[in-house]
C-alpha cells in the first residue's frame, strides 16, 4: 500500500509559507469555525477554479470577505456571483502578507495600500506524491491522478493506494478509513494466495 500523501504548492507571495497552517489556510472544513466572523482575505493563485469557489465558500463563515484576484481574470458572471454575496473584490496585485508579532494583520498591495485582514485563505495546487505509483505504471484518470477501485486497488495487481496520494480532498478521517479499507482488501488478497497455494499442494 502506498500512502505518501500530497504536496500543497502555495502561491509565491511573501508571508504565505511562513504563516501556512496558522494565519494562511486553505480548508474551511478544517479551520473555518475557528476563524468565523473575522475579516478574511481570499488570495488568488495558480488554482483558479478552487480559489474562486473558495471566495464564495468562505463567505459562509464571515460577512467580511475580500477576494484579492491577484492575476485571476474574473468573468462578468464570476464577478456578479461574488458581488451578489457581498464578497469584496480587489484587483490590484498582492505584494505580501503583513505580519505583526506572528499574526496576520493585513494584505499589502503593490500600490502600497494595506487592507486590514486577520486571516488569509489561498488555493494551493495539490500535487500527489505518486512517483512510485507512476513508475510502476498505474493507470491514471483524465485529471492525472492515479485510478483506484473503492478499496484503493490500483490497476497493478497487488498494489493499493490510500489517502491523499490518490484522493486529493480526503481529510484525516477519510484517509485513515481508506487505509483501513485497503488493509482489509490486502488481507483478503493474501488469504486467496495462501488458499490457492495450499490447494495446489494437495
Q: Interacting stretch for ligand FAD, rule CB under 6 A, among 49-57, 60-68, 149-157, 169-177?
A: 169-177
Please give the residues from 13 up to 42 whose contact with ligand FAD meets the rule CB under 6 A. 21, 27, 30
What is the biggest distance separating any 2 CA atoms in the chain, rounded to whole angstroms?
A: 82
Nearest Cα neighbor of 164 from 31, 51, 4, 1 is 4
Residue pair 55/79 in contact (Cβ under 8 Å)? The answer is no
DSSP string of 158-187, one letter each residue: T-BB-GGGT-TT--HHHHHHHHHHHHHHHH
Q: What is the C-alpha to C-alpha distance for residues 67 and 55, in angstroms, rounded to an integer?
A: 6
Task: For residue 116, give the DSSP letter.
Answer: E
Q: Is 170 a binder of ligand FAD (CB under 6 A)? A: yes
Indicate which single residue of 38, 46, 125, 129 sits in contact with ligand FAD (rule: CB under 6 A). 129
State in angstroms the smallest separation of the CB of 72 from ligand FAD. 22
Q: Interacting stretch for ligand FAD, rule CB under 6 A, among 66-74, 80-88, 152-160, 166-174?
A: 166-174
State in angstroms the smallest separation of the CB of 23 from ligand FAD. 11
Q: Is 172 a binder of ligand FAD (CB under 6 A)? A: yes
Amino acid at each position: 500500500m502506498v500512502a505518501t500523501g500530497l504536496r500543497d504548492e502555495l502561491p509565491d507571495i511573501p508571508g504565505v509559507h511562513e504563516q501556512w497552517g496558522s494565519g494562511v489556510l486553505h480548508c474551511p472544513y478544517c479551520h473555518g469555525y475557528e476563524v468565523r466572523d473575522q475579516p478574511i482575505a481570499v488570495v488568488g493563485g495558480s488554482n483558479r477554479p478552487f480559489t474562486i469557489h473558495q471566495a464564495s465558500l468562505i463567505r459562509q463563515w464571515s460577512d467580511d470577505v475580500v477576494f484579492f484576484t491577484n492575476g485571476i481574470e474574473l468573468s462578468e458572471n464570476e464577478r456578479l456571483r461574488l458581488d451578489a454575496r457581498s464578497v469584496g473584490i480587489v484587483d490590484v496585485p498582492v505584494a505580501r502578507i503583513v505580519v505583526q508579532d506572528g499574526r496576520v494583520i493585513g494584505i499589502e498591495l503593490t500600490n502600497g495600500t494595506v487592507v486590514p485582514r486577520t486571516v488569509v485563505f489561498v488555493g494551493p495546487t495539490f500535487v500527489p506524491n505518486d512517483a512510485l505509483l507512476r513508475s510502476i505504471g498505474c493507470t491514471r484518470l483524465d485529471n492525472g491522478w492515479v485510478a483506484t477501485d473503492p478499496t484503493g486497488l490500483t490497476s497493478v495487481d497487488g498494489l493499493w493506494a490510500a489517502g491523499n496520494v490518490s484522493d486529493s480532498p480526503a481529510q484525516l478521517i477519510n484517509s485513515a478509513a481508506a487505509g483501513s479499507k485497503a488493509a482489509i482488501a490486502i488481507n483478503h488478497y493474501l488469504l486467496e494466495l495462501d488458499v490457492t497455494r495450499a490447494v495446489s499442494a494437495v
